[in-house]
Amino acid sequence: MHPMPQLLPLLKQLRLSGILDSLEVRNRQAVEQKLSYTDFLAMLIEDELARREQHKFAQLQRRAGFNTQKTLESFDFTFNPGINQSLVMDLATCRFMDEKAPVLIVGPCGTGKSHLAQALGHMAVRRGHDTLFTSHAKLLGQMSAARAVGNYERKLAHLAKIELLIIDDFGLKPMRPGQDEDFHDVIAERYERRSTIVTSNLDFNEWSEAFHNKLLGAATLDRLRHGAYRVTLDGKSYRSPRASGENEGPAKTEEKGG
């Protein structure tokens, strides 16, 4: 009698039903290669672990919310050759996450800020880190909505726990009264606990202009800038008219700042 019908409820009870996907192939392989029982069992366990890792990766990538095409592999470092590729590759190791350090990426529209931020997010997901990519405006909207329904503290706690939070297009619109307080809360809760990546079209010295409350803005930026890695992209725009086949890329990268 075929063993699979009897195994199915047992494997489901143990939450190992995925083993059925490779059981028949592995059983045939064991017979043909005259493998021992322990070798056969080891192959099944390895298959199950690989399935679980793939499932975890798919879940993390889906929750992250970024473009699956915006990876480091698709980032064209030759488009603007002045980029400090060694620093970008160092950031891609996600060592900055171990340091709980922020990464601040600035530059004009179309120079690759969002692509680079999402590429670093992809590297974090590949290492099993819970990651979220969101725009500054969307983040503020969600915080405001959570406050309106009495879920502000829960939303803040959730954002504080995410291992890597990527906030795109900071300061694209000046924050309205109250929004800078919400943004400060997020940055303060994550300060020296979790890493945050922020992209902006504004130069670093212009970030304070996005805050309605300048005192609160100074306190927020002090936390964001402390120990941050700063990346400046000031080269050609990917969105500019160009010959067919050209790709996106940035121009200049700066080392970690204090």
In whole angstroms, give the CA distance from residue 51 to residue 64. Answer: 20
Instruction: Convert the pLDDT of each residue in 223-244 to its tens digit.
Output: 999 999 999 887 655 554 444 3
Percent of the chain, pLDDT > 70? 88
Q: Sign of the C-alpha dihedral, residues 11, 15, 21, 25?
A: negative
Please give the average per-residue pLDDT across 199-210, as a whole number: 94
> What confidence score (pLDDT) does residue 241 get?
43
The whole-chain average pLDDT of the chain stands at: 86
Residue 30 confidence (pLDDT) above 60:
yes
Take residue 160 and report the two structure tokens written for it.
Answer: 């504080």
pLDDT at 41 over 70: yes
With H, G, I as helix, E, B as strand and everything else as coil, classify residue 167. Answer: strand
pLDDT > 70? residue 131:
yes
Half-sphere exposure of 195 (CA within 13 A, CB side): 26
CA distances from 90 to 61, 96, 257 (A): 22, 9, 15
The model's confidence at residue 4, banded by pLDDT at 50, 70 and 90, is low
Residue 183 pLDDT class (50, 70, 90 cuts): very high
CA dihedral angle for residue 191, residue 212, residue 201, residue 184, rounded to 10 degrees = 10
Report, as an integer, the average pLDDT of 44-57.
83
Distance CA 248, CA 233 (A): 11
Do the Cβ atoms of 164 and 194 come closer than 8 Å? yes
Cα distances (angstroms) measured from residue 21 to each of 27, 47, 51, 57: 11, 9, 10, 19
| 153/174 Cα distance (integer angstroms) | 24
* Distance (Å) of CA 229 to CA 94, 95, 197, 206, 258: 12, 11, 9, 17, 9
Q: Which residues neighbour 77 within 8 Å (Cβ) at sequence distance 6 or greater?
A: 83, 85, 88, 249
Q: Please give the structure tokens belonging to residue 99.
A: 């340091």
Q: Domains of the chain by range and CATH?
A: 4-62 (no CATH), 65-232 (3.40.50.300)
Residues 117-133, mean pLDDT to the nearest whole number:
95
Give the C-alpha separation, 211 to 56, whole Å. 38
- By DSSP bridging, strand 164-170 and strand 103-106 are unpaired
What integer pLDDT is reported at residue 243 of this predicted model?
42
* Max mean pLDDT range (41-55, 76-90, 184-198): 184-198
pLDDT band at 12 (very low <50, low <70, confident <90, very high): confident
Q: What pLDDT sits at residue 215?
A: 95
Predicted TM-score (pTM) of the model is: 0.74
Give the pLDDT of residue 102: 98
Closest CA to 198 of 239, 235, 228, 157: 228
Structure-model confidence comparison of residues 142 and 245, the more confident one = 142
Confidence of residue 251 (pLDDT cuts 50, 70, 90): very low
- The percentage of residues in the chain with a pLDDT greater than 90, rounded to a whole number, is 53
Element housing 158 (H / E): helix 152-161
Whether the predicted pLDDT of 255 surpasses 80: no
Is 58 a residue whose pLDDT tops 90? no
Q: Please give the Cα distance from 30 to 20 (Å, whole number).
A: 15
Element (H, E) at 137: helix 136-148
